[in-house]
Structure 1
Amino acid sequence: MHNPSERPLAGMRALVTGVANADSIAYGCARAFADLGAQLAITYLNDKAKPYVEPLANELGAQLLLPLNVEEDGQLDAVFDAVRETWGSLDIVLHSIAYAPKEDLQGGLLDSSAQGFAYAMDVSCHSFIRMAKRAVPLMPHGGTLFAMSYDGANRVVPSYNLMGPVKAALEASCRYLAYELGPIGIRVHAISPGPLKTRAASGLPDFDRMLAEAVERAPLGELVDIMDVGYATAYLATRYARRMSGNTVYIDGGAHIMA
């Protein structure tokens, strides 16, 4: 029988990508995984980002801190090679990586360029599929894969523009991967937080208005924070959620149920 005093992710190993700073959703997830007992491997984008991420990784006791730019040939392989050499296996992978060129993000979908759309799709969606492919051999006893989405994937959020279709593709990818990987015990979820005050989100036009509207629409009447997202995501990686897969899980105070 499970000992309630045992931390539910004790003995598990989690790879967390996309930590940029202490306001990142990925950092909230990494903190929650660590609080629940998981060992951590954390990635940072490049040398410019490393000074912001390294102190956070040290604070969480991460065993690995690795560069990862999914556009750079070989970096994804290098991350998974390091995980294999250090741990030999993996239980959790969190993908929190998205990018669109500014000119494509700030114009309407109709005006998005083919190159900008393809670039956003590759970095924000297909890199998750590439990550899953490399994670599977390290999960012989099953595991959980997570990708970060947003409600703009399912309804029109003015100013979200081309990221709406890109995140919709990411959510569909999670469902198809859940189907393909279910027989080997690997579960896949898309996580859809409400608007948060992160550096990445602040680049969206009308972001302050989006925050205000989220509070107004949410039945709970509050914004979520990165730890709300982190603990809900961590729960999905525990044995308590072992029969859940293929979901888009909203952590938004209930805002998505409102018309």
Structure 2
Amino acid sequence: MKKKQLFALIGAAMITFASCQNKGETKEDQSAQQHTTMAESNKVADAAHNSANALDWNGTYEGVIPCADCEGIEISLVLNNDETYLLTTKYLGKADDIFRSSGKFVWNEMGSIVTLEGVEAPNQYFVGENALFKLDKEGNRVIGDLASKYMLSKKMGDVVVQEGLLETKWKLVELAGQPLTDEKEGDIPFLMLMKEDSRLSAFAGCNNIMGAYELSEGNRITFSQMASTQKACPDMEVEKNFVKALEMADNFTLKDGTLSLNRARMAPLARFEKVEE
């Protein structure tokens, strides 16, 4: 009887020990699962709030970064809403040459770094709050005492106007996605943005249009105070849509002699080509 009782006690103890061990493993498993869930949630939160969609990143950034064989490299970088850029560089202490390049930029998967297309490396910038940080050739942030020397600060105030935009006659070639093909030479609508008093002068195909425009950071443009002559013509459809495009436009793109008026990131409202004098 004593041996049977002893075996029974040992068996009970083993069962109790195994039960406790299983409970401990379950708690560890639950803890690990919770940490995994939290990590996944953090990744989702990071993706939802990044530089690309949470910061007012479009605008002009300026600064002077270190140079191996000159006094410094003066940089001006314009990032536009349509994900195009204008880069201007000058090597201080050398010739007075100014180098300009433009094109598209792309965001990395995390939405924190932009890469300028068509520019030799290093051509990547980390996008921060009102600042860009130029990355090295490997795409890494410069750290330590030199970190602040690779920062470009966002320019507030004066707007950098793209070369060729103003004092140029722009003839209308496409309206609401439809090319203009039937207009006679003297009836082709055009647009001119004058430097003086930020005035606009336009011809809509029948009537002349006068008004004002305002430029702001990120290639934003708005037209206001518009008035026109009151001639009546057989077909006013193009004119009506042209005026509507001016009223709706809130940004523009200018590349390779083509000017587009846009609203947000939708298809262009109107396209123009530069008239060579």
What is the TM-score when the length of structure 2 is the normalising length?
0.26
> Comparing both structures, which one devotes a greater share of its residues to helix?
1
Q: TM-score, normalised by structure 1?
A: 0.27
Name the structure with the higher strand share.
Answer: 2
Larger radius of gyration: 2
Of structures 1 and 2, the one scoring higher in RCO (CA 8 A, sep 6+) is 1
